[in-house]
Structure 1
Amino acid sequence: MHINLAHQCTTIPCPGCSQLWGLKHNKLTGTLSIGMEFSNQLSLVDLQNNEITDFDGTGGKNIQIRLAGNPICEETGVTKNCCVVPQSNPTSLYTTPPSPSSCPSATCSSDQVYSPRCTCAYPYTGILFFRGILFSDLENSTIYVALQTNLTQFFQLNNLPVDSVSLSNPIMAPYSYLLLNLSIFPYGQDRFNRTGVSTIAFIFSNQSYKPPPNLYGPYVFHGDAYNHFSDTKNSKKSTTSIIIGAAVGGSVLLLLSLLAGVYAFHQKKKAERASLESNPFAHWDVKKSSGSIPQLKGARCFSFEELKKYTNNFSEANGIGSGGYGKVYRGTLPNGELVAIKRAQQGSMQGGLEFKTEIELLSRVHHKNVVSLLGFCFERGEQMLIYEYVPNGSLYETLSGKSGIRLDWTRRLKIALGSARGLAYLHELANPPIIHRDIKSTNILLDQHLTAKVADFGLSKLISDSEKGHVTTQVKGTMGYLDPEYYMTQQLTEKSDVYSFGVLLLELVTGRRPIERGKYIVREVRMAMDKTKGLYSLHQILDPTIADTSLKGLEKFVDLAMSCVKESGADRPTMGEVVKEIENIMQIVGMNPNAESATSSSSYEEASKGSTLHPYGDQSFAYSGTFPV
């Protein structure tokens, strides 16, 4: 089959396939020409909603062509069969609930929905994003029936309050994602309570439900907000009663104040104490926290009971990481959104000052390459921070082979660029500027598209105008990433972060820890480099995962890393200059530095294979602390 795109004829072979429908909504332009070199099994070519202006129909007489939504249908009116949207269409509405006419006994309100059993209810809705499917015929309704039956049986076998489920509107999205609208109907009543919705959302987020393996691959569920909880009316009645009670109580107090001034004085003090209790910072201990209460922009205060509920009582099944500060748990908010909850363990708190610093800094910074802080908890002796959930863990876990995700050279360049942009934002656009002070691979997180996000601001410092570009402070950081100039002088500057970032770049190239078996990565690279030879003769210390692939631009990448780890901070580039240099390297490689990060290469098969090529061991070097001076 030949398709003329933008007036350049491109041959697209289709050996053995029966339908070619993945080219819709792609802005294809020019002339469509069907030649003779196509599979004899090819029966359907679906190019709806593109920019095709002409059609040469001399070839492929037995092939069904769909051109609805193209200029050719609007301007020339070619063969009507090509321009009419068939009733059975891969993107048409596939739905299982009955129509109102087939349920004459049901009388649903305007915002209720008919369930497959002809009952009126308020379903819990959302979208299932399948990242991999093992079928190509989207018109085959039995595929969705199998998924729907499997879902219903799963809920019922697990004694969940679900009567039935409905699937609708299958759509193929970019990157071959399949989107399906999902409606889940309650059992025994017309709406869910809060526990039911929270349990269902948790099952999807925790991946407890597994779709039919012979049809569907990995998935993500995005739940809609549910506004029809069964306890809403009772809550409104309770709220009304409270308001009425408070009004009556206020009137009584007003009358009593006229009779007894002393009594009124005590009542005023009592009201002030009640107001103080409602303040989320009422228990903030200024002495222990080494400062006043945080000044927040956007972050909210969570109660301990809320977080306990979102994490299923901080169960081990929801544990996703740990460190010297404590543990990190995955939690699910009532709307289905996933969060990461960093909980400091008793006896090893990071300190009130560090806790307050991280809250204030992250509530003020907003950048796609900096992890977002959603809130915190500071009660019952607990210190907890609530972040956006970053599903692919840290760069350290990926380089060590623990995550099952394999990073080729281009993905490593994109991760380097994202990390550099996040750090440059902190140095040059934040007001006042922020020095991270603990840049390392365990503090670079990767989201579902492998977009890098700078995390963990517990050791960060602000630079005010009066400090003239540096802060004299106690030396803190991680061995192997620590700037030697900062270690000697105790003067922390933005160039200290640049040094740590240079070590991170060498880590991306070699796949080695900064300090491994007593060998320092900066010294090892400097000794092995020979600029007169290809790849600077670094073959022996390159990460084996990328050693046998095309490494165009590697020499410039190594030059940049070595300039970042120069002994004198004055000789190192700024992070803004580092960003520009990585962008130049990507353009040399033929990449667009402004394109979105590539999606994760981690599939079921790849994740199960893992990687045995990484020299990282099982021991983490993720130590952050104070060094003796």
Structure 2
Amino acid sequence: MSMENMISLLEMSSRVLVFLLLVSTRILAIFAVTYSGDLAALIALKATWKNLPPNWVGGDPCGSKWDGINCTDTRVTSLMLAGTGLEGSEFSDISSLTGLQFLDLSNNIGLKGVLPSSIGNLKNLTVLILIGCSFFGPIPDSIGSLQQLVYISLNSNSFSGSIPPSIGNLSQLSWLDLSMNKLNGTIPVSTETAPGLDLLLRARHFHFSNNQLSGSIPDQLFSSNMNLVHVIFDNNKLTGNLPFSLGYVQTLLVVRFDWNSLDGPIPPNLSNLTSLNELYLSNNNFNGNIPNLTGMHSLYYVDMSNNSFKASGVPKWFSSLQSLTTLIMGNTRLQGQIPVDIFRLPQLETVVLSNNNLSGILDIGNSYSSNLTVDLQNNSITDFQQKSDYNLQLTLVQNPVCNTNGANAKFCSVQRRSNDLLPSNRCGVMSCGSHEILSPNCQCSHPYTGTLHFYSFSFTDMQNLTYYRILSRSLMTAFRSSGIPVDSVNLSSPMIDIYLQFQLQIFPSGEDSFNRTSISDMGFLLNRQPFEIQYFGPFFFIDEQYCCLPGSKKPSHVGIIVGVAVGGSILVLLIVLAGIYALRQRKKARRAMEMSNPFASWNPEKGSGSVPQLQGAKWFSFEDLKKCTNNFSESNCIGSGGYGKVYKGTVASTQVVAIKRAQQGSMQGATEFKTEIELLSRIHHKNVVSLVGFCYELGEQMLVYEYISNGTLRDCLSGKSGFWLDWNKRLKVALDAARGLSYLHELTDPPIIHRDVKSTNILLDNNLNAKVADFGLSKLLGDTGKGYVTTQVKGTLGYMDPEYYMTQQLTEKSDVYSFGVVLLELMTAKAPIQHGKHIVRLVQEAMGNTKEAQNFDQIIDPTLESGSKLVGLGKFVHLAMSCVRESAADRPKMGEVVREIENIIELVALDRKTEKRFDSSSFDETIDESPLHSYAAEGFDVSYGSFPFRLQHQ
């Protein structure tokens, strides 16, 4: 039989099976109340998804009340399984549930794949929540055909491509949240032939935070006919002016355009937004005059820091905003005297006016709040009226007032309030069983936990228990009003990192754990947010997978028991047919993914197809790594960052490894991932972390490295690691890291530029040997003939080569600059940017004074000053500052850096031998004490830009 005939026969057979499936489900409907089409779709889902509720048995989801399924008459109208650990990659079957009104699959990170265009079949859908899953690819344009949609939240996935203009057709839409994805392109507005977001006149929420949106903000986007209350576009790549039309939307309560590249003047009609509570415009390139916000009496929170406004005195409107709690205007070119009236505002909690040119005598009056925090670092304030009699948290570091006799006053040091918000423990001494936690009501149970992320907030006083109580009461009221069995909630660890975050624990009432229905109901309530909380803006909830859901987590492939003998054979047939149907759907999805997946034709077992060219690295399955990390348990987590988490595990029975698991928002494209593992697999050096293997399966990207036990150099310098590096050990760490980078630059072919050299990417093993790690941003120099690679600027703030930043031309000297910053960290233990000042500038200033040694004492790591003789420090400073020279051509090569550090270590060794040979105990005469730092006995020249200096012999 020919291949064509076989395919024709298979297609004919599949049509017959589908026909039998429809007939069978209609027969089954005689004995049940569930619509046959809905039943078939749910059975197909059951055949392809894992970890579905164990009570999904029988042939009547509506009559048997399957968990997560709600029905109206015979139709399934809601599928709500938030936070229940679902896993699956086939979603087209959901589109057969055409009666669906509510779809909530949020916080199921195991749901991975592309959202099918067939979702446009769900014409009755009103609420769509897919927060915290692992969807990728474009948002289908068909979503614009769901005319009943009121609420869309696709937050915290990896959706890419542009915002579908068709969303503008959703005339009923109130809430649109596409934040925390990889969306790019411009903001769509309507044309004569296409819809756009400007048509969403009923919309209350525009949430587009943390994407890659670019281009200008269309003036057409906003109008006086809109009902928007929250416009949130922070952390994108938007350019151009803030549109004048924004001032027409007088219903606005929150505006966020911070962390973009907007420029031009801020529209003066912004002051028309008299209902506005919070305004975030920081970290852009706005120029012109600081806008006049007089009359905005509802304004609580203002942040316009880090812009390029015209130099001006302190605006009078500062003191006219009687509702103001937070004013952040750092680095906005303010000058002159600060009016005392600012500090009399009754609600004021935080004032940040650092990095300006404020001058004169500071007078805070006597009518300020005792919980007020005022940051005036790096200004020109000459004196302080209330020097010894004030009751607020005040910072005047890097002002002339701190160079006078009052320099030892408490306002001349940086003081931070703790953000640990902990309610009082009324339970006395009590203990709970294994894995149980004591609730605020003194009951031991298993809480449902996660993090609340608030897009906006109108306060900054984390110690004010009023806010904690308001939030706790609001959540408890919402849970109880919805009939969810919650005993109490606990909020802790408040933190502001772009968004305000609270850790949330929800404790069950009457039981020691929650069932699936309660978990799903709580997730839906928190992410649907049918309630408002005073002082708190909109939020989203990301959970931690619940520990204690009952039932097996294995996929169910057993026969469905109807309960009546006559239906048994029919249900067995349904399983077979659903399996065949699911298999066909899986093949379709696989074919679609193969079009853009360079691993698609690669069989790791056979080495066929487009196999990555690996040298020693091993392929691991997802199940392998899941098993060796105890299902990626938190107890195995040894680190985390913007990329995801790192887990400790053991492979091949004995080899301890660190498994870096990318989270959905930081995953690379398949081609980039393949390139990275090829690059890593051919790096073999004792001072570079070795790649053991990788996993690219089920939508996961994981890199398996050798395990380095003593953590990062940054942790060590900050004291977090719990052990201390003396001067000799720091020199050894510098040498190891330099050798690793020199190997990458000079001994690999083609050369590799790391592009993200920093102290957190230098790891220390058991013997404190340093190894360079993390090659996620690395580039091959290749055979360009130019000596550089032109590429999009990437790296870490504080370590980035300024010449690379300006020209986008990446060379090995960019790594040299970053390594120079690491050398300065080794010497000072200070972060690259601290209190608004770069470490290079800090060292420059210490060198530029006539009393060099005295100034250096102030910046050297105090733990080194406690007893070390820092032999070679002068040469070390010389080397570091030569690495961070402004011009890349003036910096040394990494091989030259290695040799210079070796020379310094030899100098240390020689000094040690000299001390042993001429021990002072063998002399009768008195020996002069040498200065604490050896740089005081060295003469050398260094120049950085226009800052030459020379330390002389003493």
TM-score (norm 1): 0.47
State the structure with more CA Rg. 2
- Give the TM-score taking structure 2 as reference length: 0.32
**Relative contact order (alpha carbons < 8 A, sep ≥ 6): 1 or 2 greater?**
1
